[in-house]
Amino acid sequence: MLEYALKGSRRYWGWLIFLLVVMGIGFSAYLTQFKVGLGITGMSRDVSWGLYVAQFTYLVGIAASGVMVVLPFYLHDYKAFGRITVLGEFLAIAAVLLCITFVFVDLAYPERILNVMLFPRPNSILFWDMIVLNGYLLLNILVGWNALAAERKGVHYQKWVKVLAYISIPWAFSIHTVTAFLYSGMPARDYWLSAIMAARFLVGAFCSGPAVLILLCLIIRKVSRFDPGKEQMRTLGGIVAYAFILNIFFLLLEVFTAFYSNIPAEKATWIYLYEGMGGHGQFVPWMWLSVVAGVVGLLLLIIPGTRRRLDTLAVGCVAVIVCTWIEKGFTLIPAGLTPNPFDQVFPYYPTVREVVITIGVYALGFFILTVLYKIAISVKEEVGA
Amino acid sequence: MEVDRRAFLKIAGLSGLLALGGTAAFKLFAPGEVDAAMEAVPLTEAKQWAMVVDMQKCWAKQKEGECKDCILACDYVHNVPRYGDPKDAIKWIFEEPYEDTFPEQQREFADENLKKLPFLLLCNHCTNPPCCRVCPTKATWKREKDGIVMQDLHRCIGCRFCMAACPYGSRSLNWVDPLVEMKDRDPRFPYNPDYPVRSKGVVEKCTFCDQRVDRGMTPACVVACKKKNVNALTFGDLTDKDSNVRKLIRENYTIVRKPQLGTGPNVFYIMRGNYA
Amino acid sequence: MYDGGKIIVGLVIGLCLLFSPYFFNAGRAAKAPQPELTPQAKKAKVCVAPTEWIKANHMHLLDTWRNSAVRDGERYYHSANGKIYYESLQTTCLDCHSNKAQFCDQCHNYMDVQPYCWTCHFAPTPKEKSQWKSIEERFLK
């Protein structure tokens, strides 16, 4: 079915070439990083994880969100989602590949990446993260590709595809739980040391991922003859709404524990983020922007009228993505390392090269996503779905 | 025998996999002729190395004139680059004031002199090191024979998980290539011809001078302090109840950094009071 | 065959590219490597293992030393000739063979291998050795 990706309109090819150019720029910036070292980023001895790890964290969430389409369809026979399961699975594939790329880009000695497989350490959560992410990638490729191929041939997919789809449901929960365990098991970092971290990650995934999917479906409606369906998008909107409410609720639970207990170590990072500390407050405007986006998103998603209308739903989804990205995909990681173990604040801000590399990697993700979606849409158009 | 194309491809693929896997497995598991020659020469032994730091002696010395010999000795022996920039800094043994070393001991009206007094910090070689728990490649691990938390710089992939996990800020990544960066800063670098430099991209920290300890010597910082007749640093076996460190811990009140985290740090700080 | 002209032209170009190294180096043999021993190495007469063996297996030996010294804490190698050596590329090997450019690099460059050992391990110059003596005097003796 790959041949579908090779046939497209001028707009399609123009978009792919634009992405290739952005990837090229990002790659050349990465070559500098490869040669000079991670010193060209804004990371330091105190804030040793930054934008790359934050993107990895956020994208694991997007990847896990495929389950929000697969679960209703395969487990609860919600037939309407049958039109878009493959879109959710392909989004998960692109997101997991991006996660792996961001991990590679973040490594200070990338030539040794295979050491993680050559010298396995079950004690380390990174080992399990590698296993569950690669496993999830494989599951989605097998299920998505085979289901799509079956649809193209006009037959029902094989029985084993359904078995794999069933496995992928708890597996999706596990990938983001394991990623949360990377952070929530470390005694050194109070901002992350919270039992609810895994739950927050999951609900964050289940609102941001379907939000991305809704926006992608709206784009697909515009650029192709395949209509994912109003009912599908509205149901997804409902899922985003509930997950987002839970996301904000869990965040407020954390705020309560931090500030009602009044323990300085618990409060420190929250103060640094929302108010500034030690004369450093670069994240403060970002956090309040995420609060505003959160309020906008909540309103648009809770009010049934605005959730039903696709244009306001789109705005709500953008608000959800902005809110969750700032909170999880930007500030969670560097802020968890601030203040440092000496209660000092060393500010982190990504450098230009770091941002360029990040955008280049995202371009790679969009490239993979475009190719996969082109295949999926072409098949669906052909079949007359 | 009729073999159709599918079956043939399956058989060929399987045979190829077996051939590759077989040779790889043979290479991995075949006994080496060199291994038989490795046997230890008996050396100074301990079950758990520990260090007791008596800062009062150090402060008394500082009053006579600035002394940073322990830090300098460590940096010279191990070719630790000195950039002068906290962003990319590599620190094996270093100084921080009391209020940053023991932040959970903050009290508004504690002895004002104590707050700013410097303390010597290094890797605590914890009994339950979280850094070793999280390392995905076992590039850092706790040695069973003597409790030193070791670094294998040949294996480190630079993921910095250990840096995030260490509650004491003891670890440093080589964000840049030391040889390149130090070329203009200090022409004497590298200082010690008997110790390698590091490449960029690996995490390093104090290793209780494992290369000295394995040859029956004490760490460089301890020797340097002793040479100045200050003796603020004492290095010994924590599990031996008659050792120098156990004696000091018995006779003085000592504290460790962040005991509530359960890491079991093995660097003890003697607190005597009277910080005028 | 269809497009026969294009195929044959493409084949010729491809084969030319494939065999171009031979064309460029025809008639010139690369100089055989001639590693030189330092006076210290000549005086020692034997390496940690018999010369023929160590020529072929020094990579394997160093790899084993690396794991044994760093990971197992076993830092002494009992050689076949009965002597005990301290397992260290930096301290033992490069002590005798401190002329890296005239010794190690000779064969490595000829074979075009770049062992990544040299990103960290370095051959000390006499200046560095004497400089270290004064540092050692100041802090450690």
Give the minimum alpha-carbon distance from C61 to chain B in angstroms, rounded to a whole number. 7
* Mean pLDDT for all residues in chain A: 94
Question: Which of B69, B214, B215 lies at the smallest CB-CB distance from C139?
Answer: B69
Tell me which residues of chain A have a C-beta less than 8 Å from any C-beta of chain B. 36-39, 43-46, 48-49, 106-110, 112-113, 115-116, 118-119, 121, 123-127, 130, 182, 186-189, 264-265, 336-337, 340-344, 346
Question: Which of B71, B82, B141, B154 is the best mutation test for C, with the most CBs of C within 10 A?
Answer: B154
Distances in Å between the alpha carbon of C123 and those of A114, B163, B193?
Answer: 29, 31, 8
Domain that holds residue B207: 49-270
pLDDT of residue B47: 87
- Does the residue B230 lie in any domain? yes
- Look up the CATH number of the domain holding residue B103: 3.30.70.20
Distance from CA of C134 to the nearest CA of B (A): 10
- Nearest-by-CA chain B residue for A42: B87
Q: Which CATH architecture has domain A2-383?
A: Up-down Bundle (1.20)
Residues of C in contact with B153 (CB under 8 A): 70, 120
CA B207 to chain centroid, in Å, comes to 4
- What spatial distance separates the first Cα and last Cα of chain C, rounded to whole Å? 84
Contact B224 C71 (CB under 8 A): no
| Contact (Cβ atoms closer than 8 angstroms) between residue C92 and residue C69 | no
Pair type for strands B267-270 and B49-53: parallel
Question: B193 and C70: CB-CB below 8 Å?
Answer: no
A213: which residues sit within 8 A by CB, 6+ positions away? A65, A69, A84, A87, A88, A91, A236
Q: Cβ contacts of residue A160 below 8 Å, gap of 6+?
A: none
What b/e string do you get for C9-29 counting C-beta neighbours within 10 Å, with b at 16 or more? eeeeeeeeeeeeeeeeeeeee
Q: Where are the alpha helices (DSSP H) in chain A?
A: 10-36, 51-64, 67-70, 76, 85-106, 115-118, 125-153, 159-184, 197-223, 230-261, 264-274, 284-302, 304-308, 310-326, 332-336, 352-383
Residue whose pair of structure tokens reads 């002068």 in the numeric block: B84
Please name the member of C66, C90, C116 whose beta carbon is closest to the beta carbon of B194: C90
CA distance A169 to chain B (A): 26
Residue C127 domain flag: no
Residue A202 in contact with residue A242, Cβ under 8 Å? no
Residues A179 and A189: their CA atoms lie apart, in Å, by: 15
Q: What are residue B27's DSSP bridge partners?
A: none
Q: How many domains does chain B have?
A: 1
pLDDT digits (tens, 9 = 90+) for A347-380: 999 999 999 999 999 999 999 999 999 999 999 9
To the nearest whole angstrom, how far is the Cα of C48 from the nearest Cα of chain B? 12
Segment 86-125 of chain B within 8 Å of chain C by CB: none
A193 and A211 Cβ atoms separated by less than 8 Å:
no
Averaged pLDDT for residues A1-22: 93
Query: Which residues in B lie closer than 8 A to residue C119 (C-beta atoms)?
Result: 199
* Residue B83 touches chain A, beta carbons under 8 Å: no
Chains with 3+ CB–CB pairs under 8 A to A are B
With respect to residue B40, please indicate whether it lies within any of the assigned structural domains. Answer: no
pLDDT digits (tens, 9 = 90+) for A203-225: 999 999 999 999 999 999 999 99
From CA B7, how far away is CA A373, in angstroms rounded?
Answer: 33
Neighbours of chain B (3+ CB pairs under 8 A): A, C
Least Cα separation, residue A80 to chain B (angstroms): 37
For residue C18, the distance in angstroms to the closest alpha carbon of chain B comes to: 28
Q: Is B41 in contact with C139 (Cβ distance < 8 A)?
A: no
Mutate which of C54, C100, C139 to test chain B, going by most B C-beta atoms within 10 A?
C139
DSSP A168: H
State the SS3 of chain B: CCCCHHHHHHHHHHHHHHHHHHHHHHHHHCCCCCHHHECCCCCCCCCCEEEEECHHHHHHHHHHCCCCHHHHHHHHHCCCCCCCCCCCCCCCCEEEEHHHHCHHHCCCCCCHHHHHCEEEECCCCCCCCHHHHHCCCCCEEECCCCCCEEECCCCCCCCCHHHHHCCCCCCEECCCCHHHHHHHHCCCCCCCCCCCCCCCCCEECCCCCHHHHCCCCCCHHHHHHHHCCCCCEEEEECCCCCCHHHHHHHHCCEECCCHHHCCCCCEEEECCCCCC
* Dihedral of the alpha carbons of B197, B198, B204, B206, in degrees to the nearest 10: -10
Round to whole Å and give the CA distance between A71 and A69.
Answer: 6
Query: What whole-number distance in Å separates Cα of residue A207 and Cα of residue A203?
Result: 6
Q: Tell me, yes or no, if B85 comes closer than 8 A to chain A by beta carbon.
A: no
Query: How many Cβ atoms are within 10 Å of C112's Cβ, its own excluded?
Result: 6
What DSSP character marks residue A338?
-
Residues A26 and A353: beta-carbon distance below 8 Å: no
Q: Do C84 and B41 touch (CB under 8 A)?
A: yes
Res. A385 pLDDT band, cuts 50 70 90: low
Segments of chain B with pLDDT less than 50: 31-43
Domain ranges of chain A: 2-383
Q: Residue C3: inside a domain, yes or no?
A: no
CB-based contact, B216 to chain C, within 8 Å: no
Check whether A239 has a pLDDT greater than 90. Answer: yes
Dihedral, A164, A168, A170, A173 alpha carbons, nearest 10:
170
Q: Does B153 touch chain A (CB under 8 A)?
A: no
Strand, helix or coil for residue A280: strand
Q: With helix as H, strand as E and coil as C, how does chain C read? A: CCCHHHHHHHHHHHHHHHHHHHHHHCCCCCCCCCCCCCHHHHHHCCCCCCHHHHHHHHHHHHHHHHHHHHHCCCCEEECCCCCEEECCHHHHHHHHCCCHHHCHHHHHHHHCCCCHHHHCCCCCCHHHHHHHHHHHHHHCC
Predicted confidence at residue B40, as pLDDT, reads 44
pLDDT grade, residue A26 (50/70/90)? very high
Give A45-61 pLDDT, tens digit per residue.
999 999 999 999 999 99
Question: What does the alpha-carbon distance between residue A93 and residue A369 come to, in Å, rounded to a whole number?
Answer: 8
Classify the C-alpha dihedral C48-C49-C51-C53 as positive or negative. Answer: negative
Residue A339: cis peptide before it, omega within 30 degrees of 0: yes
Out of A37, A119, A337, name the one closest to residue B138 (CB).
A119
CB-CB under 8 Å, B198 with C120: yes
Cα B227 to the center of its chain, rounded Å: 23
- Whether B32 sits inside 8 A of C91 (CB atoms) is no
Quick one: average pLDDT of A233-253? 96
Nearest CA in chain B to A264: B104
CA–CA min distance A374, chain B (Å): 30
Looking at the DSSP assignment, which residues form a beta bridge with residue C85?
A: C77
**CA pair distance C131, B2, nearest whole angstrom:** 78
CB contacts < 8 A (B, C)? 94
Per CB distance under 8 Å, which residues of C are interface residues toward B?
57, 60-61, 64, 66, 68, 70-80, 84, 86, 88-91, 116, 119-122, 124, 128-129, 131-132, 135, 139-141
pLDDT at residue number A249: 97
Structural domain count of chain C: 1
B38 within domain boundaries: no
* Other beta carbons less than 10 A from residue A342's beta carbon: 19
Q: State the average pLDDT over residues C99-120.
A: 91
Contact B249, B85 (CB under 8 A): no
Considering the entire predicted model, what is its pTM? 0.90
Q: How far is CA A223 from CA A5, A373, B203, in A?
A: 15, 11, 49
Which has more confidence, A315 or B47?
A315
Over residues B161-209, the pLDDT tens digits come to 999 999 999 999 999 999 999 998 998 989 999 999 999 999 999 999 9
Residue A242 has pLDDT above 50, yes or no: yes
Q: Which chain B residue lies closest to A333 (C-alpha atoms)?
A: B164
* Predicted pLDDT at B113: 82
Which of B155, B159, B161 lies nearest to residue A119, judging by beta carbons? B155
CA distance C67 to C64: 5
The interface pTM score, or ipTM, of the predicted complex is 0.91
Q: Determine the pLDDT at residue B33.
A: 42
Q: What is the mean pLDDT of chain C?
A: 89
SS3 A277: strand
CB atoms B200 and A49 under 8 Å: no
Task: Answer whether A44's CB lies under 8 Å from A347's CB.
Answer: no
Percent of chain A with pLDDT over 70: 100
Containing structural domain, residue C110: 39-122
Is the CB of A124 less than 8 angstroms away from the CB of B133?
A: yes
Separation between Cα atoms, residue A232 and residue A218, nearest integer Å: 11
In a domain, C13, yes or no: no
